[in-house]
């Protein structure tokens, strides 16, 4: 009787081990149905790797528009855009476009004209933050300090901390003018 119990236990363990070895990993998408020749017992085909579906990452402009339209406070919107900008990796061409854009907006004195326009202000903050973050860990360049002061003025006026004609804004603009002279 004891031998029979031991044999049954051994058989159950063998079946369990075999079943575990043959289990297939769960798939998140159904396998495509294809017709194929019946497999011969001794043939084993290598598993075909499943392609992960490409996820379309929204462009930064649509992300900012979504943030701008939200019911959040300007401070919360600023924080979200800053997080987005910190993760963003521009190519060299786009980085130069961002640099030229913020310089142009400053020179034309447009950058603080409409501080209640969420989309415009957040787009400016995004571009300037991308530029500033790019040069932040590298050698100091005038565009780095220019973009830093651009962010400061944009951030504090947008959030209502400073007025457009405040002393701190004017002080930052003096520093921006010095940086501009070095950029040329």
Residue-range definition of the domain harbouring residue 156: 60-183
Is residue 107 situated within a structural domain? Answer: yes
69-82: average pLDDT: 97
- How do residues 76-131 score in pLDDT, each as one tens digit? 999 999 999 999 999 999 999 999 999 999 999 999 999 999 999 999 999 999 99
Q: Is residue 16 part of a domain?
A: no
pLDDT tens-digit map of 21-62 = 444 444 444 444 444 445 555 555 555 556 554 444 458 999
Instruction: Count the domains in the chain.
Output: 1
Q: How far apart are the first and last CA of the chain?
A: 96
Residue 168 domain-assigned? Answer: yes
* In-domain check, residue 26: no
Spell out the alpha helix ranges (H) of 23-166: 60-69, 74-87, 92-107, 118-136, 142-158
Q: What is the pTM of this model?
A: 0.68
| Inside any domain, residue 18 | no
């Amino acid at each position: 009787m004891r031998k029979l119990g031991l044999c049954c236990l051994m058989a159950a363990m063998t079946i369990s081990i075999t079943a575990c070895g043959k289990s297939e990993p769960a798939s998140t998408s159904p396998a495509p149905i294809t017709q194929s020749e019946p497999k011969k017992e001794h043939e084993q085909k290598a598993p075909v790797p499943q392609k992960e579906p490409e996820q379309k990452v929204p462009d930064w402009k649509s992300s900012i528009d979504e943030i701008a339209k939200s019911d959040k406070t300007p401070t919360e919107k600023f924080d979200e855009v800053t997080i987005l900008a910190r993760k963003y990796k521009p190519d060299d061409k786009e980085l130069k476009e961002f640099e030229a854009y913020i310089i142009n907006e400053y020179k034309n004195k447009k950058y603080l004209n409409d501080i209640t326009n969420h989309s415009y202000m957040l787009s400016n903050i995004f571009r300037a933050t991308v530029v500033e973050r790019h040069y932040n860990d590298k050698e100091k360049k005038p565009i780095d300090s220019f973009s830093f002061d651009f962010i400061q003025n944009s951030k504090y006026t947008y959030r209502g901390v400073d007025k457009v004609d405040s002393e701190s804004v004017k002080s930052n603009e003096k520093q921006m003018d010095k940086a501009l002279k070095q950029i040329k």
